[in-house]
Amino acid sequence: MAEDFERLMRTNEQLAAERKAQDNGFADLAENDEAKLEERETLEETAELSFEEKLVILNRAVTRQPLNRELMLRILSFCTEEKKLNDVENHVMSFPEYSRATENPVYMTKVLVRCDGLEEIERTAEGKRVLPEDKEGLTEDEIDDLVATTNFITTEVGAQVVADHSPAARLAALLETSPERAETFQEMLEFVAEKPRTYGEVTDLLKGRPVLQTIINGRTETVQPSVFIDKLERAGVLVWDNGWKLTKEGEAFLANK
């Protein structure tokens, strides 16, 4: 498994470089919340850690790359019941966020396993779980013959991260911490709900508004509209899919207003 992970890491470095060239900085690692990590950080072993320590590590893995964050959360949500690897791959690739992801679904899944967000389960063709002792004394070829499927299921740590990062919770936190912008955020969501919007259209919507002004070190500065878009995207209610669109969670928020 270690060799497979190293191979996936090399493949994803190439993919990350391609995405970085395409996304004008959005592919950079996040440097806020709990996500500030070294780009080549070695994932820690979690077996002897407390639940809270495992939460910190998993949160870092999920939030360190903004372009992958929603997909990793979707993997954790999808695997609340045991799922086969190819089903996880197909699920991830069905979302518009995947077109901008810097990692492939298998790599993201392996990272979540290493960070204790998912449990990896190997099964025989008859559905029996393959345990470590079942592999003792077997050659690699014999092990390959024994293991018919590799499945994944979300751990308690993974389930907690999903709950903590639910779009409803993230949006509520955003509106609570920026009440002066709450009306603008809602107007943006309503604007995007009408039809997919370009960045230019959102800029025109907000142009000249006092809400774009902020005080930094005693000086009045103008906040770019991209900041508002980024915050709504990070809250999980906005997604880029050939235009800015509402996610299902964004639609649900407006429906309940």
Asked if 104 and 8 count as a contact pair (C-beta separation under 8 A), the reply is yes
209 and 148 inside one domain: no
Q: What is the pLDDT of residues 40-87, one digit of tens each?
A: 344 445 568 899 999 999 999 999 998 999 999 999 999 999 999 999
* 160 shares a domain with 221: no
Residues of the chain with pLDDT > 70, as a percent, come to: 82
User: What is the pLDDT averaged over residues 92-107?
Assistant: 94
Task: Tell me, yes or no, whether 245 and 207 share the same domain.
Answer: yes
Q: Tell me, what's the pLDDT at 221?
A: 86
pLDDT at residue 37 above 50? no
Higher pLDDT, 19 or 120: 120
Domain final position from 164, 188, 220: 164
CATH number for the domain including 192? 1.10.10
What's the domain range around 69?
2-164
How confident is the prediction for the chain on average, in pLDDT? Answer: 86
pTM as predicted: 0.76
Domain boundary among 106, 140, 164: 164
Last residue of a domain, one of 164, 186, 209: 164
State residue 230's pLDDT score: 94
Q: Are residues 112 and 41 in the same domain?
A: yes
> Does 64 share its domain with 155?
yes
Tally of domains within the chain: 2
Residue 156 pLDDT more than 70?
A: yes
